[in-house]
Amino acid sequence: MAFGIICLLVTIFSALGLYREFKKKNFFAVGFAALTVAVFGWFSVMTIFAYITRGGGGAL
């Protein structure tokens, strides 16, 4: 569960960076921030979803 929370924090900070760099029109940084939001957002959602549906604990 800690991994899901850490990924969620990274996603939130990356989304803030995405917004800031989009305002500055720095599209190279926007691309990296968008990729980070997509990857870490997916990991956080799926980790939290797996924890809820499988009850936490070890591997399958």
CB burial readout 39-52, b (16+ within 10 A) else e = ebbebbeebbeeee
2 pLDDT band (50/70/90 cuts)? confident
- pLDDT band for position 47 (cuts 50, 70, 90): confident
pLDDT of residue 57: 57
- pLDDT above 60 for 59: no
Residue 45 has pLDDT above 70, yes or no: yes
Identify the residue whose tokens are 């760099």: 21
pTM higher than the cut 0.85: no
The pair of structure tokens assigned to 29 is 């940084």
